[in-house]
Amino acid sequence: MTTITVYAEGNYAGTSQALAPGRYDMDALRVVGNDTISSIKVPDGWSVTLFEHAGFQGRSKVITADTPMLGDGFNDLVSSITVSDAAASAGVVSVYADANFSGKSQTLAPGSYDMGALGGVGNDTISSLRVPAGWRVTLYEHAGFQGRSQIVTADITMLGEAFNDQVSSITVSAPSASGGAVMVYADGNFSGTTQALQPGRYDMAALAAVGNDTISSLRVPAGWSATLYEHAGFQGRSKLITADTPMLDDGFNDLVSSIVVSNVVAPAPAPAPLGTNVPASAEQLRIASRMARIALRREATPEERKHWGGVLASQATPGDGVVVLAQELMRHGEIAKLDASARIARAHDAMLQRYDATPPRDLAHWLQRSQLDNQSVNDLINNNFKGIVASGYRSDACAAPVDAAQPMFAVRDAAGSPLVFAIGSNRQLYLFRRTGQSWRQLALSAVLPAPRHGHVQGLDVQQAADGSIALAFAMAPRRGVAISTVFVATGLSNALDDNGWIDAIGKLPARTGAPAGTVVSQISFAPAGGGASLLVLVGAAVAGITNSYYFDAAAAPAAWKTLRIPEDANSVRGYALGTFRRPGIWTLYQVNNDSALTFTSFEDAFGKTINVSYTGLPAAVSSFRLAPGSDPDVPDVYVAGNGLAVYRAKADAPERIANVDGAAIVWVGAAPGASHVAYVDASQALYVVTRKAGEPWGQPYLVSGGLDKVALLGNPVGAALDMLAITPGGALELRRIATPGSAAAVEEIPQCAVWDEDPMTLAELNVAIDAAAPVVYFASDEEYFSSTVDIFLRRVGLWNEMRGVWQMPPGTLWDAASGDVRSDALAILPRSAPDNPKHDSDYVLKIDEADYKSLLPGHPDDGPLYVHAKFLPAENATDLIFWIFCPYNGAGMLKLDTPGLNRRIDLAPLGVHEGDWEHFLVRIDNDTGKPVKLFLSAHDSGDWKDIASLERDAATRRLVLYTSRHGHAFYSTAGDNLSNDRSGGIWAIGLINHCDQGKRINFGDPGRSRLVSAGFLAHDAPLEPLWLQMPWRWGRYFDFSRADISNVIRKVLGPVVGSTPFFGALSEAAAEILIDKKVLGGEGNSAGPQAIKFKGNWFGQE
């Protein structure tokens, strides 16, 4: 039997051991010995994977040939091995130059094969391949593992048209020898120091084998995922990886400090029958298409679109519809194959209609929640994502940078690639441009010296014969009166890079000369000829009266002139500015029962005009377009109706293009190599007719079925056609038609989701926090004050309530070097059954008895307000949630007043608990940066207040708030501030939240209000401290005996027994307050406060 042989010395000498196919852990290598192997003999077609540590862990190295001396740090360092033979796995992947596994071939073991390594079969020759079961092959269109890619997991007798004879580099992955692990590598192309990662969370210290900030490539088994984090503690930017990646990009190469690995794969149920017949509105169909595209990463079929739109329509509210559709999409077989991390991300993004390749900012948190309580994706949809959607708060941008309802244009850059100009759903202008093998998205209107919260009102883009680009658009404030500012750029180079475009647009001056109060609705260029400068045509309203204007693009300032329509026009169907020897206007209109197309030049110095009338128009003519022709002073005029025709530099004898009825021209592309005419027919289907140079017009061919928006772009040297398309699901695609009528090759242009409204910058946010920070008064007889979190966490431990032992003893939670909790305090630990009443308190932060006296009073001179900033785009507001932490919450106090009896009753021990988080919310108007509303939590209730009506501190003019004695809830007034008030008539009963002007703290002082979370700031967001991620209760579980409860009830009711006719009502009220309203349970007493990031209002509403 053939085997591989390992040797203890180099050059196949010393003690040896023969190994058949299989897995050999350290004990199974006792013949040759642990950490002794120096050389290996490997039969042809076999492969050996060496592991640095026992259990197939640590760095690994694949050997496929005889090796007289191990290098790469593996000599005398091998502790476990896997062996695969040719028969067991078909040994290798085989690629063939011809179909049906014929022609020149080459065998490929696991690894990466760039173009130079495919010499056996050749570049751009592969047509078929054999792939062993469980293996994965990734084909790349270009060298260096670039361009389009296709994953192959089974034999293919003939590659499809998109990849046949177009493969230049390949990666090959064998089934994981270790039974499943993500492999991370310090160098590109799966080389250098490596480390195997099983499912789990790997903070910086746990990546010691490969090293911090070293990872450049990684292998990810099918169905697994790795979430990479820029910083330790799973903080900073993140990137989700679900497939082998030979070289990290997007700013992650050598910048990874922590990783989460998941292999949770759900069973794949059968697809749900598509039987919902509830009619859906156009908006419901749009939402269904977009959610499906986000979840499935493909377009919904017409049947799916109809069904999923019906799902939305069948629910009582739009919110319910989104929840039900998200749950149905998550049951789809295509989703069920994904790991938990990917499914959670897809569910979150689909519900928020966020189409973006990057994972949502809080994905690690949602994955942590799912693992903490074994929550399914449907649980997260119901318990968390539904509330986020309803709240309006957003940590991630969710709007689309392309909107089918807005204009979109395409021209070519200096390399011949499309430059795509589009207006997003936020009414901002974006540019998509190719750089190498990737695409860049630039926010052009964001750099304008225009109103920050503005929107684009109109757009036109033209490209001259020399390649230069002209751009015209109008901006207006998003709120208030939409008075327009017009910007025009001409002669822009089509070779500009990112910085060039940003610089060019940022320096554009606002055009003057418009009538006062102009509100623009549309803007376009008029084709120029004969050396004439471009004219800009504007549709606008002035003082409520709509008119058409034009001005000279080259003149600054340029007076706007009113465009006059022919006086005999009963119904104008269209008009265009341009040059027929002289600048003027073409008008298509109806006179009585006839159609007319005329040109009238603007008057010269003598009041003379050129007047041209076109004859021989198609019947039912509906539209026309101008395009450069053979005469530089006279354009070609394309017309459409019942037929397509073109007038070439003259007004009679039109050239017939196609015999089609009900056509309307939407685009004309004229170039030396070919001319194209695009039109829609009566069904709104888009067709193109092409005429190659020297040939007659071809037959119309369909170019779009079910697309929401297209922009067409001809090829200057041939008949090829590029179509930029927005799909019903909201994807932006480049569709390349090589020859007229041929199938389009489709490439998706990645989009980065954008904000509906501009969020605050970090600088603006800091100013707003300073403006909102209040002066706070503690009660004059307060015993338990606020503290910094770190003072508390340095001295408490993590208590295992189930076992009655320290999980992490006091003093071991805090890492002094990082100034935060240790990452293992976030580890997912075994839990009790969910129906256990103490389930939420399985693990709690507990004060050691020895530290009670020193911790309980707090440290008010240091204790800050911790600020969580949340962006509310729909209201153009930012909510600042100010959290205060106190190490101890004292006993409650009850008010009981009856005729002749006024009592204040200490409820001790009820109401006491370790750790106390309380908060208030200040809403900031993003336009002004000023506070406008205040929400006071007041324990389990809450109240919105108008800030203008509240008390101000005399010395600082800051807002004044009060925090209640022992309970620390915030109030805007001094006094008893009764909560759970059950007063009736002449008796009163309720919980006292006494406030007065005791210790005063100005939280506007430096360092007293600390921003800890502002996800919407993206790269500028502060790193969230690890203690925010810690899911455990911030205080131990208190068990109160029946005697304790009875004693308190006797204390409350004893003096009034038999002394008042209201005793029965008072008893019921007292029971409700003491038991039903959480004085005995929840956060009020028996279980310490929930970690604030795990409270419902962290992501949702108050």
Say yes or no to pLDDT of 86 above 60. Answer: no
Say yes or no to pLDDT of 1046 above 80. Answer: no
Residue 561 contacts residue 548 (beta carbons within 8 Å): no
* Residue-level pLDDT at 350: 97
- Tell which wins on pLDDT, 482 or 759: 759
Helix orientation angle between 340-352 and 282-296, rounded to the nearest 10 degrees: 160
- Say whether both 790 and 829 belong to one domain: yes
User: Which structure tokens are listed for 352?
Assistant: 């928020």
| 229: in domain | yes
| 991: in domain | yes
Over residues 9-37, mean pLDDT: 84
Specify the range with the lowest mean pLDDT, choosing from 144-158, 759-773, 925-939. Answer: 144-158
Which of 16-20, 197-201, 495-499, 558-562 reaches the highest mean pLDDT? 495-499
Helical ranges in 261-301 per DSSP H:
282-296
At 893, which amino acid appears?
A: M
* Residue-level pLDDT at 177: 40
Say yes or no to pLDDT of 533 above 80. Answer: no
At 479, which amino acid appears?
A: R
Question: How many C-beta neighbours within 10 Å does residue 278 have?
Answer: 14
* Residue-level pLDDT at 266: 40
Query: In three state form, how does the secondary structure of 102-119 look?
Result: EEEEEEECCEEECHHHHC
Count structural domains, the chain. 6
* Band of residue 415 on the pLDDT scale cut at 50, 70, 90: very high
- Say whether both 376 and 467 belong to one domain: no
* Residue-level pLDDT at 529: 57
Residues 6+ apart with CB under 8 A from 1061: none
* Band of residue 267 on the pLDDT scale cut at 50, 70, 90: very low
User: Is residue 550 classed exposed, middle or buried when 0-12, 13-18 and 19+ CB atoms within 10 A define those classes?
Assistant: buried
| 1008: in domain | yes
- Say whether both 860 and 798 belong to one domain: yes
- Tell which wins on pLDDT, 52 or 974: 974
Over residues 716-724, mean pLDDT: 83
Q: What is the pLDDT of residues 822-840, one digit of tens each?
A: 988 888 888 887 777 777 8
Say yes or no to pLDDT of 1080 above 60. Answer: no
* Residue-level pLDDT at 561: 87
Over residues 938-946, mean pLDDT: 74
* Band of residue 326 on the pLDDT scale cut at 50, 70, 90: very high
Q: The tokens 């603007």 sit on which residue?
A: 602
**CA–CA separation, 230 and 252 (whole Å):** 7
- Say whether both 413 and 387 belong to one domain: no
At 878, which amino acid appears?
A: T
Residue 971 contacts residue 950 (beta carbons within 8 Å): no
Over residues 774-796, mean pLDDT: 96
User: Which structure tokens are listed for 877?
Assistant: 């507001």
User: Is residue 312 classed exposed, middle or buried when 0-12, 13-18 and 19+ CB atoms within 10 A define those classes?
Assistant: buried
**CA–CA separation, 798 and 162 (whole Å):** 57
* Residue-level pLDDT at 877: 96
* Residue-level pLDDT at 98: 86
Residue 583 contacts residue 601 (beta carbons within 8 Å): yes
Residues 6+ apart with CB under 8 A from 665: 623, 624, 625, 638, 639, 640, 644, 677, 678, 679
Q: Which of 563, 598, 625 is the last residue of a domain?
A: 563
Say yes or no to pLDDT of 283 above 60. Answer: yes
* Residue-level pLDDT at 141: 86
**CA–CA separation, 1095 and 549 (whole Å):** 57
Q: What is the mean pLDDT of the chain?
A: 86
User: Which structure tokens are listed for 910?
Assistant: 């009820």
The pair phi, psi for residue 627, each rounded to 5°, is -150, 150
At 237, which amino acid appears?
A: R
Say yes or no to pLDDT of 27 above 90. Answer: no
* Band of residue 570 on the pLDDT scale cut at 50, 70, 90: low
Percentage, residues of the chain above pLDDT 70:
91
Nearest to 166 by CA among 83, 95, 252: 95
* Band of residue 1082 on the pLDDT scale cut at 50, 70, 90: very low
At 845, which amino acid appears?
A: L
Q: What phi-psi label fits residue 233: left (phi over 0), alpha (psi between -120 and 50 degrees) or beta?
A: left
* Band of residue 672 on the pLDDT scale cut at 50, 70, 90: confident
| 1035: in domain | yes
| 969: in domain | yes
Percentage, residues of the chain above pLDDT 90:
42
**CA–CA separation, 150 and 140 (whole Å):** 7
Which of 106-110, 115-119, 450-454, 492-496 reaches the highest mean pLDDT? 492-496
User: Which structure tokens are listed for 418?
Assistant: 């499309």
- Say whether both 1009 and 1053 belong to one domain: yes
Q: Domain range spanning residue 372?
A: 282-391
The pair phi, psi for residue 749, each rounded to 5°, is -95, 115
Say yes or no to pLDDT of 567 above 80. Answer: no
Say yes or no to pLDDT of 553 above 80. Answer: yes
- What's the whole-model pTM score? 0.74
- Say whether both 84 and 167 belong to one domain: no
- Say whether both 143 and 245 belong to one domain: no
User: Which structure tokens are listed for 1078?
Assistant: 């959480």
Q: Which of 563, 593, 608 is the last residue of a domain?
A: 563
CATH number of the CATH domain containing 162: 2.60.20.10
For residue 104, CA distances in Å to 46, 109, 528, 815 come to 22, 17, 57, 61
* Band of residue 819 on the pLDDT scale cut at 50, 70, 90: very high
**CA–CA separation, 698 and 742 (whole Å):** 13
* Band of residue 1086 on the pLDDT scale cut at 50, 70, 90: low
* Band of residue 1058 on the pLDDT scale cut at 50, 70, 90: low
Residues 6+ apart with CB under 8 A from 78: 6, 29, 35, 36, 37, 50, 51, 52, 70
Cis preceding linkage at 43, omega within 30: no
Question: How many C-beta neighbours within 10 Å does residue 932 have?
Answer: 14
Over residues 752-780, mean pLDDT: 95
Q: What is the pLDDT of residues 838-887, one digit of tens each?
A: 778 889 999 988 888 899 999 999 999 999 999 999 999 999 999 999 99
Over residues 188-208, mean pLDDT: 80
* Residue-level pLDDT at 88: 40
| 823: in domain | yes
Q: Which of 56, 89, 122 is the last residue of a domain?
A: 89
Say yes or no to pLDDT of 269 above 70. Answer: no
Over residues 276-292, mean pLDDT: 90
Q: What is the pLDDT of residues 960-1010, one digit of tens each?
A: 999 999 999 999 999 999 887 777 777 788 889 999 999 999 999 999 999
The pair phi, psi for residue 475, each rounded to 5°, is -125, 150
- Say whether both 61 and 197 belong to one domain: no
Q: What is the pLDDT of residues 464-485, one digit of tens each?
A: 888 999 999 999 988 777 889 9
- Say whether both 555 and 479 belong to one domain: yes
* Band of residue 63 on the pLDDT scale cut at 50, 70, 90: confident
* Residue-level pLDDT at 329: 95
Residue 289 contacts residue 300 (beta carbons within 8 Å): yes
- Say whether both 1005 and 920 belong to one domain: yes
- Tell which wins on pLDDT, 264 or 1032: 1032
Over residues 789-817, mean pLDDT: 93
- Say whether both 66 and 112 belong to one domain: no
Give the N- to C-terminal CA distance of the chain in Å, as an integer.
Answer: 72
Residues 6+ apart with CB under 8 A from 912: 888, 889, 890, 891, 1038, 1085
| 234: in domain | yes
| 15: in domain | yes
- Nearest-Å Rg of the Cα atoms of the chain is 36
Cα angle value 283/289/294 (rounded, 5°) = 125
Question: Across-strand partners of 429?
Answer: 423
* Residue-level pLDDT at 343: 94
Residues 6+ apart with CB under 8 A from 116: none
User: Which structure tokens are listed for 439?
Assistant: 């695409």
Q: Is the dihedral angle over the CA atoms 491, 495, 497, 499 positive or is it negative?
A: negative
Nearest to 175 by CA among 106, 217, 222: 222
For residue 481, CA distances in Å to 511, 517, 1093 come to 19, 9, 40
- Say whether both 69 and 99 belong to one domain: no
